[in-house]
Amino acid sequence: MKRKERLKYCTICQLRNFNPKHGTICSLTGEPASFEVTCPDFIQDEKAYISEQEAEQERESDIRKTINYGRYNLLLIGTVFLALGLVEIFVVDDYSPLNTLSFLALSITNFTLALWSYEEPVKANIVGLILFIALLLTELIMDPAELLDGFAFGGYFSVICAFIAAITVSISQKKGE
């Protein structure tokens, strides 16, 4: 058992003490915990336990909010691409089938990533960012003026927010481990 795992017990034990050099220590031994499975002297501090449970619930709530934020951005981007594809088909007089297909493919991709984000939120948001960067590079090669389009700026903002959400969740999950 690693120190981090032991500290889960020690931080809610009545016998805990603090040493500036070692952090949380046992008041009986004056040393950091060294038990392997359970501590034979463990006495649960109810206030610390409740406080730790509330803090854990708040961390989980924050993670869920951040994941949902990235998911909503993927859905928003998918909706924008779907709308652009439909506008291309029904409004534009000399529409390009290639543009229409790319808008619809990007729409389906973003909806799929949003659904995937229920299983793998960090990976789905990062894949969404990579796909959007690939789209921007493709646009830059094909028609650099397109990058200054108003829709593009909204897309940049949404993807950047999704990426920040993915990184935040990843960091939060690593801290929680």
pTM to 2 decimal places: 0.55
Q: Name which of 15, 18, 11, 16 is nearest 49 in CA terms.
A: 11
What is the phi/psi pair of residue 140, to 5°? -60, -40
Q: Name which of 35, 15, 36 is nearest 27 in CA terms.
A: 15
Residue 169: what pLDDT? Answer: 66
> For the chain, which residues make up each domain, given as ranges?
3-44, 57-176
Is 151 a residue whose pLDDT tops 60? no
What tens digit of pLDDT does each residue of 15-60 get?
Answer: 999 999 989 999 999 999 989 888 999 999 999 999 999 998 998 8
Residue 137: what pLDDT? Answer: 73
What tens digit of pLDDT does each residue of 71-118 get?
Answer: 787 788 788 878 878 887 888 777 777 777 777 877 888 788 888 877
